Structure 1
Amino acid sequence: MRHPLIRPGTSSSSNLLDLIKETYMEESHDIVIVGGGICGLATALALHRKGIASLVLEKSETLRVDGGSIGVHVNGWRVLEQLGIAAELRETANLVTAFHDVWQEEEKSTLTPVRKELRWLKRKDLLETMAKNVPAGAIRLGCHITAIHPSDPGAVLTTPGGSIIRAKVLIGCDGSNSVVAKYLGLSPAKSTPRTFLRGFTRYPHGHPFGDHFLRLRGKRFFVGRSPITDTLVSFFVACHIPSADACHLLHAGDTRDMRATRHSVVQKLEGQCPAEIVEMVQNSDPESLNVVTKVWYRPPWQVAFASFRKGTVTVAGDAMHAMGSYIGQGGSAALEDALVLARSLARAAAGSGGGRDDEPCERTMIVGAATAIGGYVRERRLRVARLSLEAFVVGELLRAKSLATKLACLGILALLGTKALGHTNYDCGRL
């Protein structure tokens, strides 16, 4: 859909951008969110709850509901309460009451109670619930941003078809390969190779696993199994074999035939782990299966010192602090980002006064938005830097070969309270 041409005001854009503006049609929005994943939709919903409109741009043609399940700890549920969707989501996910860790080679197991709320949600349920609670038309699917140009205020976005979208406030919730983070000058997120298969298995007559999250460590595999409902479990199987052939086989299965991938994983597990695990993978839903070959993260020192703001442009979620799945806080931390950012912008909007056509008041609003985003970055930095450090050290511990490195990692994690899940008992406040 073409929109009437809106002439820009004073801009620091290049001559090339000025030429583009003369050639193509342009639209303008107060707040644009790039990325329609968990963080992007949560930010849009949080803003909507505060009476602030926004536009979410998602490059996929549909909501990206793949990716299996997501563990949401008590800090995430506190945010979902503020967003007004916690009660509905709790109906789709049972409580998890303990972590059951098993070290097969050592013939050792532990049971660690979960003292606060923890539930595994289907990513699909979370995204669809948030999406249906934002206004119609607030999510634009199939909109891929190819470039971002500076503007005063905000930024100007261009698409492959030449469409131009002016954003007075731009929020990048577009993941570890974020185009907004690149615009801000952030270094690309790093990755480590880690191949694992994940999916869902249904038990029509009920599964026998209770309400414990199992983490089974074998010599050449790591299996995680979490109950979602009485009849549905989520699982992952990590491949620890440093074999190009094994990784190639999983890559091929990911794109050609997930049933073949499932079969290859079952073959690796047979005779190596309990029959119930083999049966779980064998009976999994092929359509739910996907293969991950890399874990993306930002080093904690980058999170601690990087510039996450340029005027009224900022980032949130994985675009700000990708940390892999090592401590299970990526999703909940993204929810926290959404709440804090929306709250900061709402305060700025409340303090700007005036109407939409009042230019001096609009300038006040933009200055207030820049200040609000600066406050958001300051408020979040210490929290996400600590989470990033914790996740980074856990990852290093898993990869460590020397005893000294392992002891150093364990010492840091003890100081951070990782075993006691201290990072989960966090409250980012009211919306």
Structure 2
Amino acid sequence: MTTTTSVRTSKRPVDTDQKLPLSPLLALATAAFVVVLTEALPAGVLPEMARGLSVSESAAGQALTVYALASGLAAVPLAALTAGWRRKRLLVTAVAVFAVANTVTALSACYPLTMAFRLVAGVASAAVWAELVVYARRLAPPHLAGRAIAIAMAGIPLALSLGIPAGTFLGSLVGWRVTFGLVTLVSVLLLGWILVSVPDHPGQRPGRREPILRAVRLPGVAAVLFVVAAYVLAHNTFYTYIASFLDAYGMSGQRDLVLLVFGLASMVSILVTGALIDRRLRELTIGSTVLFLLAAALLIPFADDAVVVYGSMVLWGLGWGGLATLLQTAVTDAGGDRGQALLVTVWNTLMAGGGVTGGVLLDTLGPASFPWSVLLLLVPVLLVVVGARTHGFPERGTRGSGT
């Protein structure tokens, strides 16, 4: 998820006749789609996957944990290790790893082997996230950079709105292994698309690399990273075990439809975010937090009411869909590409934390505890976003002052 600040501060004259190069941007969106689908698909087929691997549901949920943990821990060292690589080589290598890892997942009946390749896929995801935003910025004219990022990130809600529900449905129809096999097929097709359509860029020269960890001292970076940590932990604690939650309240047969509703709302969210982010980042982030809080608050007393569950999924999806774009933009404004490297680390580490936390809650307090965990984590998030009006999530007209 690294970006460069040079595009944002470019002094080049703006050519308003320039258009976005859709083919490479859509290839990047498909890469995001594959990353999210590989990451989150176990959540939709968790009971079936647990039976197939002869483990408990909480153990199967660690398929998301090891993936996210590997991505988080690998982000900073991987960025340093591959800084000199040509960018297209890195992107192609990462997508090829996804093809191999999903093939192993589809075929393996061995839990440790499956977890090992989930870990490998997690490392590859760190490389993809590190390239999406910087590629989108380089492909777009400066005045369309925000829109280019929104297109590249559209693969996230698309995976949630179509990929995960379709995978959940196919998992119940023909088996979860077939679903992972289809993700492999998409990965292979994506490799050809990237090779043909996405331009190459050189890596960084050694003398231009700055210490990444120092970015946390820049004004606003710590506030954004706190929001990343708490929001992502809240989301993944609940989302990892959404199938178990729905099963507990008699909605096991509606998992695919519930996830479809969530994903469609997420798609609406990223469209709105793409249109307004350059002018309303602060307001959008506050709104995102409030919507998720409201969804959780409704589920506490009414989790057994299907209408409320679907309504809560709409609110949750509207809150979640544009969040990655919002926080990537906020951390880039505050800390540049070094801030982005830290965001990838925090994001994915707390995704892993969500899998672990959700597993503990499921085994000790049961599925009813998930909405409460969201409230506990997101109230501080709301306070930080509201309070960070000078740096981190500044008022309109003051963005970028923290770099």
Fold-level similarity (TM above 0.5) = no
Highest relative contact order (Cα 8 Å, sep 6+), 1 or 2?
2
More helix, by proportion? 2
Larger Cα Rg: Structure 1 or Structure 2?
1
Higher-strand-fraction structure = 1
